[in-house]
Chain A
Amino acid sequence: MTLETNQGNLGGAPSLFTEDATGLRSEEMILNMGPQHPSTHGVLRLVLTLDGETVMQCTPIMGYLHRGMEKTFENRPYMAGPRYIDNADYLSPMINEVCYAGAVEQIMGVEPPPRAQYIRVIVQELERIASHLVAVGTYGLDLGAFTPVLWAFRDREVILDLFESLSGHRFTHNYMRVGGVLYDLPKGWIQQCEDWATRFIDKNLPELEGLLTGNEIFVSRTRGVGYIDPQQALAYALTGPMSRASGVAFDVRVDRPYGAYREIAVRPQVQTGGDCFARYRVRMDEMKESVRLIREALDNLPSGPISARSPIALRPPRGETYFAVETGRGEESLYMISDGSEYPYRAKLRAPSFVNLAILPELLRGTKIGDVIAILGSIDIVLGDVDR
C-alpha cells in the first residue's frame, strides 16, 4: 500500500490516495457541508474529509454571519447597546440585554431596584425556556423527527407573545435599560404567565418528553454519541449544558450569581453521561427548573420602581469591567472598557456558542455522517453568537 498526499484540495485539508494490491485507487471524499445546508443551524460550513461514511477530519469554517458587533458597540452610545446585542445570540435576546446592561451598571456602580431585578429573572428564565425549546425541537428535526419542533414551538409562541405584550417586540426586544427595565409588567401579564407555566409543565413538556426521551430510536441515536469527558469539558472551557452534561457543575447563576439570582436559589442541572443524550436531558431538566424559578420570582415579586435614576447621556467613569450571565448555551460575558465618554472604548463579547463549537472537530473524528448532525445539533450553536 502506498500513500501520497494531494494538497490541491478544498479547504486546505490534505487528501489521501490509497492503493491496494490490485492497483485499485481510492480517494477520500471532501464534502462541504454548508453554508447552505438544512441542518447546520445557520451559516456554518463544515469541510468534512470522508472515507465512505466515516468522517476522517472536520474543519469548521465560520464568519459568514460576522456583523462586527463588538466594533458597533464602540461606535454607539451606551444607551443603544441593548438594541445591538439583541442580535448576537438571536435566540436569547433578553439574556444578552441583561449582559450588556449589567456590564454598564457594574462600571457605573448602579444597582437596579429589586422589582427590575425580579422582572429580569422572569424574562431571562422565559427566554431560557424558549431557547431550549428551539434546541430540543430542532435536535429532533436533525435526527429526522418532524413533530418535536412543532410541538416545541407551540410554547415558544406563547413566550414570544408574552414578550411582545411586555416590550412591544416578539424578538429583538430592546427591553433592558441601564439601571432597570423599560416598562413595568402590563395588566394581567402575571396571570397569563402563570397560566402558561401550568400548561407547559403539566401537559406540553411531558408530551414533548414522551416523544423523544421514551423513543428507542432517539435514545440509540444519542446515547454514547459525542462523548465528552469532564477533563475535556474543562480543557475546552465548555459552559452551559455542554459542560453540565459531562458532570462539570458550573453555572454562572450559581457560582457567580448576579441580579436577583442572589436571592432566588438555582439548582444546577447536572448529568454525568457526557453524550448527546445527557446534553438533551440537561436541557429538558433546565426547562423544568426555569419554570420553578419563574414561579418563585412571580410569587416574591417586590413592588416599587422599575428603574434606577440614571442620566440621559450615560457617561460611565473610566474603568473596565467583566460581567457574565448564563444563557441557554453557557456563559456569555462582556468585557468592557470605559474611557469616560459616551461610547465604550472597547467591548468584547464572550460568546458561548463560539467557545463550545471549538470541540466539534475533536468529537467528529471517526464518526459517521449521521452522527455529525447529531453531535452538531447537541452543541446547540447559534451562528449569530458564533460569528457576532
Chain B
Amino acid sequence: MSADVIQTIIHFIVTFLFSLLFLMGAATILSYLDRKVQAYAQDRYGPLHYGPAGLAQPLLDVGKLLLKEDLRASATDNPLFWLAPMIFFAPVITAFVVLPFSPYLTGAALATGVIFYVALSSIDVIGVFMAGWGANNKYALIGGLRSAAQMISYELPLVLALVGAVMLTSITAPACSGAQPDLNTCGVGSISFSNIVNAQLNPPWLWFVLIQPLGLLIYYICGLAETNRSPFDLPEAESELVAGYLTEFSGLRWALFFLGEYGNMCIVSAVATAVFLGGWSGPGATEGFWVGLLGGFFGQVVFNAIAAFWFIAKMSLFLFAFLMVRVTLPRLRADQLMRFAWLGLIPLTLFNILLTGALLLIPVDTSLKLIIAGVANWLLLFIFIFGFRRLTGVAKKSEQARQGVPAIPGVERLPAKEAKQLTGAGAP
C-alpha cells in the first residue's frame, strides 16, 4: 500500500471522527446553551440541578430520549413516517463533508463545495414534508406544507447571496487583477469552500463580509428560515400548530429531528464563516510559521488546531446570534414570510449580483474595485434595513378601515369621522 493511500485513509478517519463528534457534541452543547442563553435573556436561571450549573442536563436529555417509548398513532402512513427523520438527518451529516474547519480537517475539498451544500440543504424539506404528511395529523400537515413553501422560497435568495461572494473570488483571482483584465480567462472563480477561504487570505483581513455585508445578512436571514428557527419557525409554531410537523414524533425519531435542526444551525453558521468571515484565518493561524518552528508533523498539528479554533470561534458567533434572535423576535405570518422572500430578498440579491458583475467591466484597479463594491454594498445594506417596514407589509390606516369589516344587521355604519364624535373617542 502506498503512502498516499494510507494518508488518505488516515485523513478520512480523522475527519470522519471529527465531524461526527463535532456534530454530536455541538448539538448537545447547543441545546444546553440554548436554554442558558434564553434563561439569561429572560431573567431566570435555566438548567441548574444536574451537574455543576446544570451541565449534565443535555446528557440526561439524551438518555431520556433514547429510553422513551416509541409512540406512533395507528393511522400514520408508515413508510413516510419511518423514513422522515432519516431523510431529514442524513443530509446534515453529509454536508459536514465539505465544511473547511481547517486545511486538514476538511472531509473532502470538493471542487463543487457550494453546490454540494446547497443541494443537500434542499433535501431537508422532503423529510419535513414527509413527516407532515405521514403523521396523519392536521397540524402536522399544515406545518409540513408551510415548511415546504418556506424552504423552497428561501433556498433561492440563500443561493443567490452566496453567488455574490463566489463572484468576488473571480474578481480577486490573479487573471482579473489590473485595470484591463482579459475577460476571456478572467471571471473564473471557485465554488470550492477551501478556495473561497484562500481567496480571503490575500491580504489576510480581506474577509468578504467587508465587501458584501448585505450578502452575509441575506444569507443569514435565509439560514434562519432554512433551519426553521425564530422568527421563521412557522412550520413548528407552537402557539398556532402545537408542534407542526413534529407533533406526532417522540423519542428517538424526535431526537433525530432535533439533532438535525441543531446540525443545520451549525452548517449554516459554518458556511457563513467560510464564505464571509475568512474561514479559519486568524491570529496565529499561519502555516509557514508553525512548520518552521516545530517541524512538519507537529507544526501541521498546531497550525490546524489553531485554524480550527478560529473557525469554530467565528461559527459560535453566528450560533450565538441564532439563540439571541430566538429570544428577541416574534414570528412572522406565512404571507409576510413569502412576501419578504420574493419581493424583498430575491430582487435584492439579484441586484447585488448585477452590481458585483458590473465591477468586472470597470477599468480600475482590483483594490479600487473592491472598495467600490464595498461602499455600494454597505449603502444597500442600510437601505435594506430601513426598508424592512415596507417589505413586511404594514397595513396603512386607510386599509385597516376597509379590510374585513362585515356589516352588522340592523346597525348602519357611519363614516369614521361621525363615529368618532358619536363615541367620544380621544376624550381625555
Which A residues are closer than 8 A to B by beta carbons?
Answer: 29, 31, 37-39, 53, 140-147, 150-151, 154, 211, 215-221, 223-224, 227, 229-235, 246-249, 267-268, 270, 272-275, 362-363, 365-373
Contacts and interface: CB of A to CB of B under 8 A. Distances in A.
Nearest to A138: B239
B326 A221 contact: no
A369 B142 contact: yes
Contacts of B394: 219-220, 223-224
Contacts of A145: 328-331
Interface in B289-340: 326-336
A149 B414 CA distance: 38
A144 B230 contact: yes
B403 A224 contact: yes
Contacts of B238: 38-39
B333 A370 contact: yes
A206 to B, nearest CB: 15
Contact of B395 (A143, A224, A272): A224
B425 A146 contact: no
Contacts, number: 159
Q: Which of A53, A141, A151, A370 has the most CB of B within 10 A?
A: A370
B230 to A, nearest CB: 6
B242 A144 contact: no
A231 B42 contact: no
16 contacts: A143-B331, A146-B38, A146-B326, A147-B327, A215-B330, A220-B389, A223-B395, A223-B400, A224-B403, A227-B403, A229-B401, A232-B405, A247-B423, A248-B425, A272-B420, A369-B142
Contact of A220 (B38, B239, B393): B393
B42 A151 contact: yes
Contacts of A229: 401, 405, 413, 416, 419
Interface of B: 38, 41-44, 138-139, 142, 146, 230-231, 233-234, 237-242, 326-336, 388-389, 392-397, 399-401, 403-406, 408, 411-414, 416, 419-420, 422-428
Contact of B422 (A227, A230, A274): A230
Contact of B138 (A31, A151, A247, A363): A31
A233 B408 CA distance: 11
A143 B239 contact: yes
A218 B44 CA distance: 23
B138 A273 contact: no
A363 B399 CA distance: 16
A275 B400 contact: yes
A147 B406 contact: no
B426 A154 contact: no
Given A154-B43, A227-B405, A217 B414 contact: no
Q: Which of B399, B400, B408, B411 has the most CB of A within 10 A?
A: B400
Contacts of A370: 234, 237, 240, 331, 333-334
A272 B426 contact: yes
A143 B400 contact: no
B343 to A, nearest CB: 14
Given A231-B411, A231-B419, A272-B426, A368 B330 contact: no
Contact of A217 (B233, B332, B397, B403): B332
A215 B426 contact: no
B335 A217 contact: no
A275 to B, nearest CB: 6
Given A146-B38, A217-B331, A220-B393, A372 B404 contact: no
Nearest to A374: B333
Contacts of A247: 419-420, 423, 425-426
Contacts of B422: 230
Contacts of B328: 145, 147, 211, 215
Contact of A369 (B41, B240, B405, B420): B240
Contacts of B393: 220
B385 to A, nearest CB: 10
A338 B428 CA distance: 39
B124 to A, nearest CB: 21
Contact of B43 (A151, A219, A221, A274): A151
Contacts of B234: 370
A63 to B, nearest CB: 22
B239 A249 contact: no
B333 A274 contact: no
Contact of B401 (A216, A227, A373): A227
Contacts of B408: 231-232, 235
B42 A146 contact: yes
Given A220-B389, A370-B331, 13 more contacts: A31-B139, A39-B240, A143-B331, A147-B41, A147-B42, A147-B328, A150-B42, A154-B43, A215-B330, A216-B392, A232-B408, A272-B425, A369-B334
B330 A53 contact: no
Contact of B335 (A218, A275, A363, A368): A368
A144 B427 contact: no
B329 A215 contact: yes
B239 A231 contact: no
A230 B405 contact: no
Contact of B423 (A143, A215, A248): A248
Given A230-B425, A247-B419, A144 B404 contact: no
Nearest to A233: B423
Q: Which of B404, B411, B422 has the most CB of A within 10 A?
A: B404
6 tightest Cβ-Cβ pairs between the two chains A and B: A144-B331, A224-B395, A247-B425, A143-B330, A39-B239, A150-B42
A249 B423 contact: yes
A172 B332 CA distance: 37
A375 to B, nearest CB: 11
A231 B330 contact: no
B331 A267 contact: no
B419 A230 contact: yes
Given A147-B41, A224-B400, A229-B413, A368 B426 contact: no
B243 to A, nearest CB: 9
Contacts of B239: 38-39, 141-144, 373
Contacts of B426: 247, 249, 270, 272
B55 to A, nearest CB: 22
A273 B331 contact: no
A219 B333 CA distance: 12
Contact of A231 (B138, B240, B334, B413): B413
Contact of B334 (A38, A53, A232, A233): A53
A367 B334 CA distance: 11
Contacts of B411: 231-232, 234-235
Nearest to A363: B404
Contacts of A270: 425-427
